[in-house]
């Protein structure tokens, strides 16, 4: 069965510092991985995806994610955090058998000014 | 893209009542998904349509839940005889056709509160 895990419920970072939001995956077959962000009272917004190719994936709003097959990880990163990046971040894996996304439990990112 | 829209945005109902939610996907998207999200959790898959065909249903979708997409455009999700445990955010998403694994675009959700 496909699954993702987000080991941190919350990540705190100071504005201007680099940020990392962690995600590990467990899949049978090739992993197809996604990051979404959810702001209060808004739907999930797509940030980036890894399907194949380069292990470093660049996405929206200056975010990037590093796919690491040996560590089965897909961590979300940004070189310099903004207060406006404060939101709930979800990692997800695509299940090809059912065409659904399987989400992690989410990580709340708090960026302090 | 005008985005995925969902109506209503909020619904408060009494236990035992029926409710219906509507989702309008992005116009050229033939795939439509329903998810449910409870507080502190990630979205959980409920069902999936390709055009008007409902191709996948989660075991989470009890007999009280039914979804339709009659003309392959908008979709409705109906919950009959609502229970307090149905209180959640119901999210709709759509994605483009094709062989590629395309990202799903989500609507703002309908928040259901069952009293």
- Reported as a single tens digit per residue, the pLDDT across A46-56 is 999 999 888 99
Burial of B26 from C-beta contacts in 10 A (0-12 / 13-18 / 19+): middle
Tokens (6 digits) for A113: 């000014």
Tokens (6 digits) for A80: 């310099």
Q: How do residues B46-81 score in pLDDT, each as one tens digit?
A: 999 999 999 999 988 889 999 999 988 999 999 999
User: Of A41, A42, A59, A37, which is closest to residue A50 (Cα–Cα)?
Assistant: A59
CB contact under 8 A, A42 and B31: no
pLDDT category at B1 given cuts 50, 70, 90 is: low
A16 part of contact set with chain B, CB < 8 Å: no
Higher pLDDT, B62 or A74: A74
Q: What is the mean pLDDT of chain A?
A: 94
A105 part of contact set with chain B, CB < 8 Å: yes
**What average pLDDT does this structure show over A84-103?**
93
Considering only CB atoms, A106 lies closest to which of B42, B50, B106, namely B42
A36 part of contact set with chain B, CB < 8 Å: yes
Residue A40's pLDDT is 84
User: Of A23, A27, A11, A42, which is closest to residue A90 (Cα–Cα)?
Assistant: A23
Considering only CB atoms, B107 lies closest to which of A36, A43, A103, namely A43
**What average pLDDT does this structure show over B97-115?**
90
- Tell me the CA distances in angstroms from A91 to A96, B3, B115, one per residue in order: 16, 21, 32
CB contact under 8 A, B91 and A44: yes
Considering only CB atoms, B48 lies closest to which of A43, A49, A100, namely A100
Distance CA A91, CA A24 (A): 9
Considering only CB atoms, B42 lies closest to which of A46, A99, A103, namely A103
Task: Looking at the complex, report in whole angstroms how far the Cα of residue B90 sits from the nearest Cα belonging to chain A.
Answer: 10
Is 90 exceeded by the pLDDT of residue B114? yes
Is 80 exceeded by the pLDDT of residue A41? no
Distance CA B94, CA A72 (A): 28
Q: Where are the beta strands (DSSP E) in A3-63?
A: 3-5, 10-14, 19-21, 24-26, 33-38, 44-50, 56-58
Distance CA B100, CA B115 (A): 43
A3 part of contact set with chain B, CB < 8 Å: no
Preferred mutation among B35, B54, B103 to probe A, highest tally of A CBs within 10 A: B103
Task: Sort strands A10-14 and A107-112 into parallel, antiparallel or unpaired.
Answer: parallel
Q: Among all chains, which residue has been given the structure tokens 């694994």?
A: B101
């Amino acid at each position: 069965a496909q699954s993702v895990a987000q080991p941190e419920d919350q990540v705190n970072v100071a504005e201007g510092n680099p940020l990392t939001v962690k995600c590990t995956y467990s899949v049978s077959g090739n992993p197809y991985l996604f990051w979404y962000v959810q702001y209060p009272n808004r739907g999930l917004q797509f940030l980036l995806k890894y399907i194949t190719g380069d292990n470093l994936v660049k996405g929206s709003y200056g975010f990037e994610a590093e796919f690491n097959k040996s560590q089965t990880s897909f961590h979300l990163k940004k070189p310099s955090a903004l207060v406006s990046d404060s939101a709930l971040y979800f990692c997800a894996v695509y299940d090809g058998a059912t065409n659904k996304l399987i989400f992690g439990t989410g990580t709340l990112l708090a960026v302090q000014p | 893209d005008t985005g995925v829209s969902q109506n209503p945005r909020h619904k408060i109902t009494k236990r035992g009542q029926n409710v219906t939610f509507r989702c309008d996907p992005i116009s050229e998207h033939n795939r439509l998904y329903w998810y449910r999200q409870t507080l502190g959790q990630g979205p959980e898959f409920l069902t999936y349509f390709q055009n008007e065909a409902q191709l996948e249903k989660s075991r989470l979708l009890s007999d009280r839940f039914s979804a339709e997409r009659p003309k392959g455009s908008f979709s409705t999700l109906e919950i009959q005889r609502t229970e307090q445990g149905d209180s959640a955010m119901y999210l709709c998403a759509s994605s483009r056709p094709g062989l590629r694994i395309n990202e799903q675009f989500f609507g703002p959700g309908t928040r259901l509160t069952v009293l």
